[in-house]
Chains A and B, each alone.
Chain A
Amino acid sequence: MAILKVKNLSKNFGKVKAVQGVTFEATEGKVLSLLGPSGCGKTTTLRCIAGFENPDQGEIYLGNRKITPFPPEKRGIGMVFQNYALWPHMTVYGNLAFGLQIKKVPKPEIDKRIKIVLSMVQLDGYESRYPRQMSGGQQQRIAMARALVFEPEIMLLDEPLSNLDAKLREEMRFEFTELQRKLGITAIYVTHDQAEALVISDKIIILDQGKIVQSGSPKEIYSNPKNKFVAGFIAVSTFIDGSVDSFLEGKKNVVVKSDDGFIINGINDNLSIGQRVSVVMRMNTIKFIQNESKVEKNKVNIFRGKIIQSSYLGENIDYKIKLGKWEVRTSVEAKYDFELGDEVTFYLSPEDIIVTREK
């Protein structure tokens, strides 16, 4: 059941077309992420849903009501801001009670709800603390609690974890997901971090320059990117441009000839002969061959290149391999020990190779 419907949303700031004709639906109890690079229109879209921006075109529906003409305070939407926006002159209790007091909820009920929500974010007993006395992670959890305490129909989150350090971000991602699943609350989550989106989302919408490029489950976006932009955004990859040469195994596999003559075998995705494509090699799918004599005779996708860069990351090593005019990026276990300038042989399984359209 769709809780939120956004239809044909457009918003301009002067000459800048921040959002252009965006249409999507959010399903009840699921997390929908708006993902994209800076300036893609994801935050503007969220702010239009919240009511802080007035769209130039389009309508927004929450449940059965059209909420577009209403100001933010009448939309019944819980919002979590990037820098938490906790009110510094109020205690945690004051921050949480504010919305309930406006709705004239009786004090005993307010006390009860605050206790419950604080327990949900594991901050029991923090009622009389001030925001400045708390760490970033704690403030973030209070910000979430504040958005949930009046039981909104939907929750909007604007890059809520961006201000936290990497380790805390990972922890908070799981906490958020647990909380969301437990409450069954519908959430729209804006982020520029593709790893985050993959972890927390039921559905991802990728935006670029104000338009929706692709929408689908995390798996769909990762494994079947519609074009080069999506493929490159959702994970660090190597792109080799070329065109479709032929098909194999009854059109299940496709043979691509790169612009400088390499033959690559990958998965077909409704392509046609001669079509311009980009071969996507994910960093973790490249396998080195140490002993060439052990290679099977008809194995495909075997390439020889030269190491031009090496980055030690503790658990892994990231190498850049020069292949013709391309630079292949790979991340492997730290058991390899190549030096700059080494000639290496590597292969990829056709099942691991995504072939996608250029645009």
Chain B
Amino acid sequence: MQKSSFRKTIEIIIFSIFIFFLFAPVLSLGIWSVALRWYWPHTLPQKIGFDYWLQALGITKSLTLGAVNVIPAFLLSLGIAIIVVIITMAIAIPAGYSLAKLKIPALLKGIILILFLLPRAFPQQPVFINLMLMFNKIGLTGTVFGVILVHLVVGLVFAVWITASTFSSIPPELEEAARSVGASRLKAFFKVTLPISTPGLIASAVFVFLTSMDEFTGTFFVGIPFVTTLPMTLYSASGSNIQFASVIAILLLIPSILFMIVIQKFLKAEHLGGMGG
């Protein structure tokens, strides 16, 4: 069907507006990150340079207030995120499977899921201040281990819900069919259930990764003074140096965007199979 050129124009306009709202903030950050001097009422920076970038990446020494080498913080955030993903998935996959497949009374299932949801159900600051006080007593504040625990608590919320929902969307007959041709329960899980649920599990892992990279409140209360993650440096910089903060913000965006590109390869329709006629 030939679309009228009017219709096409409208579509292009709407698409452009959408793209604008999606990328304008990033563009704005981009401009800020290379602005060396930008005073009102100039619409564009008066002087552009990569000074802040070089300082952030530790290539040149920090000269301005608030600008530090953020590479260590970046690597720490990345390292913590990866560890958190591994531990979270190791817990969430069996937990989600059990909640989805095993015959648990509905009431108990509801209670367990709510328990996992609880940390996010309350205002975050009171929760984490409390956690900080408790961790302090057992010497976990200011440690990477303590921060990992915080990220685990936050990440498990999503991970368990997503894995449980992924596994319950797989028809039980698929596993039963595997068992009817001779596969043990474990084999049926690894050869049938797991491959089919890969997209959901990957979505879960990505969610945990992004949540961990982005986590601020809990990390702040539990991490200081010794643990500095990238969001924390962003917080410090945002008070004193907007350009520098923009650099850090863009650095924070990079893993997210990379992950998105990686996932969309996995989420192809091939693996989302059909049943019956």
Residues of chain A touching chain B, judged by Cβ–Cβ distance below 8 Å, are 50-52, 71-73, 77-79, 81-89, 98-99, 102-103, 130-132, 135-137, 139-140, 146-147, 150, 163-164
Is B72 at the interface (CB under 8 A from chain A)? no
User: Across the interface, do A102 and B181 meet the contact criterion of CB distance under 8 Å?
Assistant: yes
Whether B275 pairs with A83 at a CB distance below 8 angstroms is yes
How far is B179's CA from A137's CA once the two chains are assembled, in angstroms?
23
Cβ of A102 and Cβ of B187 under 8 Å apart? yes
A-B contacts, 22 of them at CB < 8 A, read A51-B179, A71-B185, A73-B180, A77-B180, A78-B181, A83-B173, A83-B275, A83-B276, A88-B196, A88-B272, A89-B196, A98-B178, A99-B181, A99-B182, A102-B181, A102-B182, A102-B187, A131-B273, A132-B273, A137-B277, A139-B276, A139-B277
Query: Is B176 a contact partner of A73 (Cβ separation < 8 A)?
Result: no
User: How far is the CB of A136 from the nearest CB of chain B, in Å?
Assistant: 2
Select which of A78, A150, A164 is within 8 A of B277 by beta carbon: A164
A79–B183 contact, CB under 8 A?
no
Assembled-state Cα–Cα distance A51/B184 (Å): 12
Q: Which residues of A contact B225 (CB under 8 A)?
A: none
A73-B184, A99-B182, A102-B187 are contacts. A85–B176 as well, Cβ < 8 Å? Answer: yes
Contact A98 B191 (CB under 8 A): yes
Q: State whether the Cβ of B49 lies closer than 8 Å to any Cβ in chain A.
A: no
Across the interface, A131 reaches (CB within 8 A) one of B180, B195, B274, namely B274
Smallest CB–CB gap between A80 and chain B, Å?
A: 9
User: Is residue B149 within 8 Å, beta carbon to beta carbon, of the partner chain?
Assistant: no
Q: Are A87 and B174 in contact (CB under 8 A)?
A: yes
Q: Nearest residue in B to A139 (C-beta to C-beta)?
A: B277
B42 CB to closest chain A CB (Å) equals: 57
Pick the contact of B180: A78, A83, A140 (CB < 8 A): A78
- A235 → chain B, closest Cβ, in Å? 28
Known A73-B184, A89-B195, A89-B196: A84·B275 in contact at CB below 8 Å = yes
Give the Cβ gap from A76 to chain B, nearest Cβ, in Å.
8
Please determine whether A73 and B179 come into contact, CB atoms closer than 8 angstroms.
yes
Measured between beta carbons, the chain B residues less than 8 angstroms from A52 are: 176, 179
User: Contacts A83-B171, A102-B182 hold; do A132 and B177 have CB atoms under 8 A apart?
Assistant: no
Decide if A140 touches B277 in the complex (CB within 8 Å).
yes
A102→B188 CA distance, assembly (Å): 11
> In the complex, are the beta carbons of A85 and B277 less than 8 A apart?
no
Contact partner of A163 among B173, B185, B276, CB < 8 A? B276
With a CB–CB cut-off of 8 A, which chain B residues contact A87?
Answer: 174, 177-178, 192, 196, 273
Interface residues of B, count at CB 8 A: 26
Q: How far is the CA of A157 from the CA of B184 in the complex (A)?
A: 21
Assess whether A72 is in contact with B179, with CB atoms less than 8 Å apart: yes
Distance in Å: Cβ of A173 to nearest Cβ of chain B: 16
Cβ-defined contact, B274 with A81, below 8 A: no
A50-B176, A150-B181 are known; give 15 further A-B pairs, CB within 8 A.
Answer: A73-B181, A73-B182, A73-B184, A81-B173, A82-B276, A83-B173, A84-B275, A84-B277, A87-B178, A88-B271, A135-B277, A136-B276, A136-B277, A139-B276, A147-B180
CB of A81 within 8 A of CB of B273, answer no
A140 to B277, CA, bound (A): 8
A-contacting residues, B244-274, CB 8 Å? 270-274
CA separation between A89 and B276, bound complex, in Å?
14
Q: Please name all residues of chain B whose beta carbon is closer than 8 Å to the beta carbon of A77 when the two chains form the complex.
A: 180
Structural contact, A73 and B183, CB atoms closer than 8 A:
yes
The reply to whether A132 and B274 contact each other, CB–CB distance below 8 Å, is yes
Please tell me which one of the listed residues B173, B183, B184 contacts residue A85 in the complex, with CB atoms under 8 A apart: B173
Count A-B pairs with CB separation below 8 Å.
Answer: 93
Within 8 Å by CB of A71, from B174, B179, B192, B273, lies B179
Cβ-closest 8 pairs across A and B: A88-B273, A136-B277, A99-B181, A83-B276, A85-B173, A85-B177, A79-B180, A72-B179
Shortest distance between the CB of B267 and any CB in chain A (Å)? 14
Interface contact A146-B277, CB-CB below 8 Å: no
Chain A residues within 8 Å of B276, by CB: 82-84, 136, 139, 163
Docked Cα-Cα span, A99 to B184, in Å, equals: 11
Q: Which residues of B contact A81 (CB under 8 A)?
A: 173, 176-177
Which residues on B sit within 8 Å (CB–CB) of A84? Answer: 275-277
Q: Given the complex, which residues of A lie within 8 Å of B273, measured CB to CB?
A: 87-89, 130-132
**Which residues of chain A are near B173, meaning CB under 8 Å?**
81-83, 85
Contacting A50 at CB < 8 Å: which of B171, B180, B195? B180
B271 surroundings in chain A (CB, below 8 A): 88-89
Using CB atoms, name the residue of chain A closest to B194. Answer: A89
Whether A85 and B275, one on each chain, are in contact in the complex, defined by CB atoms closer than 8 angstroms, is yes
Q: Which residues of B contact A82 (CB under 8 A)?
A: 173, 276
In contact, B174 and A85 (Cβ under 8 angstroms):
yes
List the B side residues contacting A51 at CB < 8 Å: 179
CA distance A89 to B271 in the complex (A): 6
In the complex, chain B residues 71-96 whose Cβ is within 8 Å of any chain A Cβ: none
Residue of B nearest to A138 (CB): B277
> CA–CA, A130 to B272, complex, Å?
12
In the complex the two chains form, what is the Cα distance from A353 to B237 in whole Å?
A: 95
- Hey, what's the 0/1 contact readout for B156-176 against A, CB within 8 Å counting as 1? 000000000000000101101
A99 to B195 CA separation, bound complex (whole angstroms)? 17
Q: Chain B residues with Cβ under 8 A from A98's Cβ?
A: 178, 181, 183, 191
What are the residues of chain A within 8 A of B277 when measuring CB–CB? Answer: 84, 135-137, 139-140, 163-164
A117 to B183, CA, bound (A): 20
Residues of A within 8 A of B183 (CB): 73, 98-99, 102
Most buried by B among A71, A98, A136: A98
Shortest distance in angstroms between B105's beta carbon and chain A's nearest beta carbon?
10
Contact B180 A72 (CB under 8 A): yes
Report how far A52 CA is from B185 CA in the complex, Å: 11
